[in-house]
Amino acid sequence: MIVVLSAQGDTTDDLIAKAEEINLNASRREMDMLLATGEQISVALCAMALEALGLPCVSLTASQAGIYTTDLHSDARIRRIAPDRIQAELDARRIVIVTGFQGVDRRGDITTLGRGGSDTSAVALAAAFSADLCQIFTDVDGVYTTDPRLVPNARKLQEITYDEMLELASQGAQVLHNRSVELAKKFKVNLEVLSSLERKPGTKVKEVAKMEKTNIAGVAKDTSIARVAVMGVRHSPGVAFQVFDLMGRNNINVDVILQSIGREDSKDITFTIHKKDLREVEDILNSHKDALKFDHIESDEHIGKVSIVGAGLMSNSGVAAKMFEALYEAGINIQMINTSEIRVSVLLDEEDVNRAVKAIHAKFFDDI
Amino acid sequence: MIVVLSAQGDTTDDLIAKAEEINLNASRREMDMLLATGEQISVALCAMALEALGLPCVSLTASQAGIYTTDLHSDARIRRIAPDRIQAELDARRIVIVTGFQGVDRRGDITTLGRGGSDTSAVALAAAFSADLCQIFTDVDGVYTTDPRLVPNARKLQEITYDEMLELASQGAQVLHNRSVELAKKFKVNLEVLSSLERKPGTKVKEVAKMEKTNIAGVAKDTSIARVAVMGVRHSPGVAFQVFDLMGRNNINVDVILQSIGREDSKDITFTIHKKDLREVEDILNSHKDALKFDHIESDEHIGKVSIVGAGLMSNSGVAAKMFEALYEAGINIQMINTSEIRVSVLLDEEDVNRAVKAIHAKFFDDI
C-alpha cells in the first residue's frame, strides 16, 4: 500500500500568510521550498500514528520517493517516477507514505504541482506501480447526479467513466481535479472517490462503466462565469484567431464560443470566461481595438451554465431534447448552447440556474 | 556567503508536542522527518526576506546542500559535504541559505544532528568551503569571564582559544556546544560568537589567542550535577573499570572521578553525574551489587562545581593557589578537586556555588 497525503487543515494557508508578511512577491522556488514542509509534516505524523498501531511503515518526501517533475515551480508536471526506493520499501512489506502535491526537478530543487496536486501525485504513483485501485479520500462521499445541497434527492453514482468525470469536473462539479482524471484515463488507473470521514463505498471512475447506459451521469452547474461579446467585428479571416490567441497569450481560459453569422460585412464573437478575468479581458480587447476593428464590447457577469453529462449522450438525440423540454416547461430562457460528444451545456441567466438544475434533474431521475 | 539557520522560536517544540499527541514512542527516523521541516521553513522565509531586499540568494535543504551524515537518527554525525551545489550557487554570486541541524544519510533519509546541531552544521560548512570566518549569532553577545547575571562586572573576552572554550563549555558556560568547537579546532575554523540582536563585536575563538596571557579566561559554574559514592568496594583489580563500563553502556556521562585509597581491603569510588541520571545510576549500581561487591551507596544532589579555565594554567602553579585562597578567604569548604591542563574545578556545597564564583572572579579580575 502506498499512501499519499496533503498538508493538514490550514497548514498551507498559514505558510502562505507567513510568506506574505515577509515578501508579497517571493519567488516561486522559495514558495515551493516553504509549502513542501506542509506535506512533510503530514507524512511524518501519519507514520508515527501507524507506528503506534504497530504497523510497519516509512514516510518519504517526493525527493526520496523519486517523483521527478519539470522545473516550473508552483505548477510543475510529473515527468517520471524512479521506482527503486518505494519498491524496496514495498518489498520489505512497509506501508509507504508519500508527500502529495510535490516533486523534485532534475537539479534536486523542490517543486509543487499546483491545483489538484495531491490527487495527481496519487494517480501517478498508482500508474507507476500498477496499483489495482487508487482511492481518493475527500470531504464528499462520491460523485452525485447533481449537487446534493441543491437537490436533496440527488443520487450517488456507483460508477462513472473518465470522460464523464472530466466533463462533470470542467462543468463545475468540484470532486476531482481534471488533471488527475486525465492522468488516470491515460494510464487506465481505476479510481474511487470516497469519504475520508465515513466508511462506505464511493464512486468508481473507470474506462467503461455499465455497458449500455440508459441515462445521463449527472447535472452540473457553474455560476463563476461571465460572457463577453465582441460586437461588429469586420468580416475578415483570422479575427477570431486573433481574439483567442490574445486570450491564450494572457492565460485567459475561454469556454463556450459562439460566432454569429449576422450581417453581411460584420459579425459578433461571443465567449465565456471566468468572472475574475472579466476586467482584464475587457482591457486586453480595448487595447487592441484598432487591430481587431470591432465596434464595441458587451459583457454580462450575471450568467450561469448548466450541463448534462453522459457517455453516448450525443448519439441518442432524445437526451438533449429532454433537457430542453425541462427548461421549456420551467419557463427558462436559453442564451447559448454548447455541446461535446458526452455533454450538453446551456447558458442561462444566473438567477435561473438553480431552478434549471432542479427541473433537469427531476426530468432525468425522478421517474426512475 | 553561506548562511546556516535553525528553526524559528518554538517551532521545534511545537512539532515535538504534535508528535507526542500521536505517539510517545515515535521512531527517530520519523521524528527527524518531522523536525527537519522547522529549518526548511526558516531558510525559505529567510530567502524571501533577502529577495525582498533585492539580494540574489537560494535556500537549500541539507539534502540539496550535500551534507551527508551517519544514519544514527536524532544524533547523526557529519561524514562529508559534497560541495557541488553550494559551489555552483556561490559561483553564481548567490547567498546560500542552508538548513542547520540536519543532514541526509547514504540512503537519502533525513537525519538530525542532535544538540548543538546548527552550530555544528555551520562549522562543518565553514571547514568544507575554507571560510575566513564562521560567525555564530546567539542570544548572548560573546563569551564572558563568568555569568554576567551573577557577577555584574564580568568582562566580555575579545578572544579565547578552542581549548579554553571547550573547557568553559563543559564546565557550564552555555554559549557554544562543545561539538561545534571541537570541529572548529580540528579544521582550524576561526569562530566568532556574537549577538543576533545587537551589532557589535563578539568573542573570537581561535587556535592561539594572545601569545602570553597573564590571566585566566573565565570562571564557570555547574549546579546540575550530583555526586555518587560507591562505598566499601573490595580491593580487587577492575572494579573501577566495571563501574564506569556499566555507566558507559547505559549512556551515563561521568565527570569528576575520585578513588580513595582508604582502608587496606576496601576503598570508595566517588564520581559526579548529571542530576537527572541519579535515580538510574543508583538502580544500575544496586542491581549489580553482587558482582561489584560494595557496601552501600551514598549520593548527594546538593552539590555544585566551580571551575577556572585558562591556557597554560597548570604550568603556572600560582593560579590554582589563587583560586584556593579566594575560597579560603570566603570560608568555603572544598569537597573534591579535579584538574586538567587548562582547568581547575572544585566541588562544593550547592549553596556555596554563587559565592564562590563571585569570590574567585573578584580575586582574578578586580585588581586588573
Kindly report, residue by residue over A313-322, the tens digit of the pLDDT: 766 767 888 8
Q: Which residue of A has its CA nearest to B56?
A: A27
CB B316 within 8 A of CB B216: no
Q: CB atoms < 10 A from the CB of A92, how many?
A: 10
The three cell numbers locating residue B62 = 541539507
Confidence band for A204, pLDDT divided at 50, 70 and 90: very high
Beta-carbon contacts of residue A113 (< 8 Å; ≥ 6 apart): A69, A75, A76, A77, A78, A101, A102, A103, A120, A121
Asked if B193 contacts B180 with a C-beta cutoff of 8 angstroms, the reply is no
A151-158 average pLDDT score = 89
B82–A contact, CB cutoff 8 A:
no
Q: Which among A25, A41, A48 has the least Cβ separation from residue B37? A: A41
Q: What is the pLDDT of residue A236?
A: 64
What residues in chain B have per-residue pLDDT under 50?
A: none
User: CA A332, CA A305: separation in Å to the nearest integer?
Assistant: 12
**B22 vs A59: CB contact, 8 Å cut-off?**
no
Detail the DSSP E strand segments found in chain B: 2-5, 57-60, 67-69, 78-81, 95-99, 102-104, 110-112, 134-138, 159-161, 191-195, 203-206, 218-222, 225-234, 254-259, 266-274, 296-300, 303-309, 336-340, 343-349
The CA distance from A76 to the nearest CA of chain B, in Å, is 18
Distance CA B228, CA B277 (A): 11
C-alpha closest to that of A141 among A91, A88, A197, A207:
A197
Task: Identify from B11, B12, B23, B48 which residue to disrupt to test chain A contact, counting A C-beta atoms within 10 A and taking the largest count.
Answer: B48
A247 burial via Cβ count (<10 Å: 0-12, 13-18, 19+): buried
**3-state DSSP assignment of residue B144:** strand
Q: Which of A131-145, A304-318, B110-124 has the lowest mean pLDDT?
A: A304-318
Residue-wise over B26-49: b if at least 16 C-beta within 10 A, else e?
bbebbbbbbbbbbbbbbbbbbbbb
Which residues neighbour A332 within 8 Å (Cβ) at sequence distance 6 or greater? A348, A349, A352, A355, A356, A359
CB contact under 8 A, A37 and B40: yes
Q: Between B79 and A176, where is the model more confident?
A: B79
Residue A172 has pLDDT above 70, yes or no: no
Look at residue B125 and give its three-state secondary structure: helix
CA distance A244 to A228: 12
Global confidence as pTM: 0.78
Which grid cell is A85? 526506493
Chain B CB within 8 Å of residue A85 CB: yes
Contact B44 A19 (CB under 8 A): yes
- Give the CA distances from residue B186 to residues A12, B78, B172, in Å, rounded to whole numbers and listed in that order: 42, 14, 22
**pLDDT for B278:** 94
What is the structure's pLDDT at B122? 97
DSSP string computed for B282-293:
HHHHHHTHHHHT
* More confident call, A238 vs B124: B124
Range in A208-212, A239-243, B306-310 the model is least confident about: A208-212
Element (H, E) at B317: helix B317-329
Query: Parallel, antiparallel, or unpaired for β B266-274 and B159-161?
Result: unpaired
- Over residues A260-281, mean pLDDT: 81
Contact A210/A203 with Cβ under 8 angstroms?
no
**pLDDT value at residue A179:** 87
Q: Write the DSSP assignment of B4-20 as a string of letters.
A: EE---TTHHHHHHHHHH
Write the residue in B18, B48, B64 that is nearest to A26 by C-beta. B48
**Which of B25, B33, B50, B86 is the best residue to mutate to test the A interface, defined by the most A CB atoms within 10 Å of its own CB?**
B33
Assess contact for B5 and B57: CB atoms under 8 A.
no
Highest mean pLDDT among A84-93, A155-164, A234-243: A84-93
Q: Which of B5, B20, B21, B34 should one mutate to test binding to chain A, selecting the residue with the greatest count of A CBs within 10 A? A: B34
Reply yes or no on whether the pLDDT at A211 is more than 70: no
A218 Cα distance to chain centroid: 16
Residue A58: the pLDDT is 98
At A12 the pLDDT is 92
pLDDT value of position A318: 78
Residues of A in contact with B66 (CB under 8 A): none
State the pLDDT at residue B236. Answer: 63
Phi, psi of B191 (to 5 degrees): -105, 155
Predicted confidence (pLDDT) per residue in B259-287, tens digit: 666 556 677 888 889 999 999 999 999 99
Q: Per-residue confidence at A352, pLDDT binned at 50, 70, 90?
A: very high
By the CB < 8 Å criterion, does B41 face chain A? yes
Neighboring chain A residues of B30 at a CB cutoff of 8 Å: 44, 47-48, 51, 59
Cross-chain residue pair A44–B19, CB shorter than 8 Å? yes
Q: A52, B23: Cβ pair inside 8 Å?
A: yes
Q: What is the mean pLDDT of chain A?
A: 89
pLDDT surpasses 60 at A212: no
